[in-house]
Amino acid sequence: MPKFDANITFMFCEYPLLERFEAARAAGFSAVELLMAEDVPFKSLAKAARMAAIDIVLCNAPMGDLITGGSGLSAVPGKQQHFREAIDQVSEMASALNCPRVHIGPSRMPDGVSRERCFETLVENIVYAADFLVTDGVQLLVEPLNVYDMPDIFLSDLDETMRAIRAADRPNVSLQFDIYHQARMGADIIKQLQTHIDHVGHIQFADAPGRAEPGSGSLDFQAIFAEIDRLGYSGWVGAEYQPSGKTGDSLQWLKHYIEVDK
């Protein structure tokens, strides 16, 4: 059975961030991931996780101005120093939360810059981040997104993502395989998992289209989760979806895999 974690940036948003750890634990999850600290002190997040007896398995590096429509950081020439400052921040966060994985964060194609130059910058930044984080035992993750939700995103192609990972050539760099984004790009999910599983450091999922819970779209999650098991993947599989209603009502899929405490 896959090991499921809940992304508490997307899920349990009926509660303040510090209460989402306990809510996830009560729902049956033993681990969570989050995109950002939402201005909550790292020590407070760590305490909430300890009180809930739940692990934090993934966090994101700061993405600069990406959320407000800017280019972001990870593959943007001229922003390398800002990227390094972001890695310094997420290193502090990962250390405080005892979090073993960091997602490098996406970026957009800036105007007037060649794709080749952006790719070179991405590889340069991956190398820097991997070398910076390796002393703390942190694994760096690189993820392609889909061009329908983010038309100008730099990394959308899985093969190009793997090319960047191989070019960086660092043992603590892996692929973050997002089932939703791959489905939106028209990929055969099971075939792609079979091809790339040896390089996968983390898996995320949401149904497609819609990015809501399993059963809300067209994906066969029973087959996908069974294949993840068959392939011997032992890492975390993160529920990173936007519940169509209350989070608790979106968890029918989970009851097939775990016994939720009453």
Q: Which residues are catalytic?
A: 143, 240
Contacts of 219 (CB under 8 A, 6+ apart): 179, 183, 189, 207, 208
Q: Are 237 and 4 in contact (CB under 8 A)?
A: yes
Provide the strand spans (E) within the chain. 3-7, 31-34, 55-60, 101-103, 139-142, 173-178, 200-205, 236-239
Q: Render 209-258 in DSSP notation, one character per residue.
A: TTS-STTSSS--HHHHHHHHHHTT--SEEEE----SS-GGGG-GGGGGTS
Q: Kindly tell me the sign of the dihedral angle through the C-alpha atoms of 173, 182, 31, 84.
A: positive
| Number of residues in the chain | 262
> Which two tokens mark 30?
């033993």
Provide the residue type at 182 as one letter.
Answer: Q
Secondary-structure percent of the chain, ordered helix, strand, coil, rounded to 5? 40, 15, 45
Strand partners, 205: 239
Contacts of 51 (CB under 8 A, 6+ apart): 21, 22
Contacts of 157 (CB under 8 A, 6+ apart): 144
